[in-house]
């Protein structure tokens, strides 16, 4: 079974979706460790409840960003991870960290990239007035939300939406998209050709 490490910062609903799809047999993966940069993240409780190893590594407890990332790296290697999943991890990883995990970091972003990268993808889309938004699962490269796209899910933006109702509609799709992308990865069906990710039959 492939081992993955999940990096989180907050409530961990995407982590929960992945754990649920592992538990029901859809996803042939093992979460070897959940690492949070916030010691009080609810995501850590979710993981602990499922018997998954948890580690809190806070930036403020480290002298430098290098030290912070070295600790994350050590925890991932320690747990034998082959892939890093960013599930609501709210920090930008440095180029040197990303290069250690070339094409082995997967992120979920709550907008249809390349539109609305960075923070608050849902708010950006809502304020811009687009008619459709959604979520994107992608490999991480050195840029922000700029790596090769694995899959996207589209939702309509309705006239009576608020930022919150739109975010909720997107989140439902996030919880489908991330397990789907991870399953394709676990089954060896993702082939990266430059910017493009081909999904093998």
Q: Select from 18-26, 46-54, 107-115, 149-157 the region that touches ligand GRF (CB under 6 A).
A: 107-115
- Among positions 5, 6, 7, 10, the unique one binding ligand GRF when judged by CB under 6 A: 10
Q: Does 165 bind ligand GRF (CB under 6 A)?
A: no
Taking the complex as a whole, the smallest distance from the CB of residue 193 to ligand GRF amounts, in Å, to 25
> Should residue 174 be labelled a site residue for ligand GRF when binding is judged by CB under 6 A?
yes
69 binds ligand GRF (CB under 6 A): no
Backbone angles phi, psi at 86, to 5 degrees: -95, 110
Residue 14 binding ligand GRF, by CB under 6 A = yes
For the question of residue 109 being annotated catalytic, the response is yes
12 near ligand GRF, rule: CB under 6 A: yes
Selected catalytic residue, list 2, 102, 109, 138: 109
Angle between helices 13-23 and 42-49 (to 10 degrees): 10
Strands 83-86 and 54-56: unpaired
> Interface with ligand GRF by CB under 6 A: which range of 18-26, 62-70, 108-116, 152-160?
108-116
| Closest residue by beta carbon to ligand GRF | 88
Using an 8 Å Cβ cutoff, are 3 and 22 in contact? no
What residues make contact with ligand GRF under the rule CB under 6 A?
10-14, 43, 87-88, 108-110, 171, 174
- Active site residues per annotation: 109
């Amino acid at each position: 079974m492939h081992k993955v490490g999940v990096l989180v910062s907050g409530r961990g609903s995407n982590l929960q979706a992945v754990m649920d799809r592992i538990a029901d047999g859809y996803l042939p993966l093992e979460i070897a460790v959940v690492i949070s940069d916030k010691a009080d993240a609810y995501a850590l409780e979710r993981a602990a409840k499922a018997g998954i190893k948890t580690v809190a590594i806070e930036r403020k407890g480290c002298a430098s960003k290098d030290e912070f990332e070295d600790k994350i790296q050590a925890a991932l290697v320690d747990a034998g991870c082959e892939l890093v999943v960013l599930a609501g991890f709210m920090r930008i990883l440095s180029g040197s960290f990303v290069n250690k995990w070339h094409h082995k970091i997967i992120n979920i972003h709550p907008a249809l990239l390349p539109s609305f990268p960075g923070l608050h993808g849902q708010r950006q889309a809502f304020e811009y007035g687009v008619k459709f938004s959604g979520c994107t699962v992608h490999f991480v490269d050195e840029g922000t939300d700029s790596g090769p796209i694995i899959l996207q899910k589209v939702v309509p933006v309705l006239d009576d939406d608020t930022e919150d109702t739109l975010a909720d509609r997107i989140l439902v799709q996030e919880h489908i998209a991330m397990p789907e992308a991870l399953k394709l990865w676990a089954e060896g069906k993702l082939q990266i050709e430059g910017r493009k990710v081909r999904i093998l039959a």
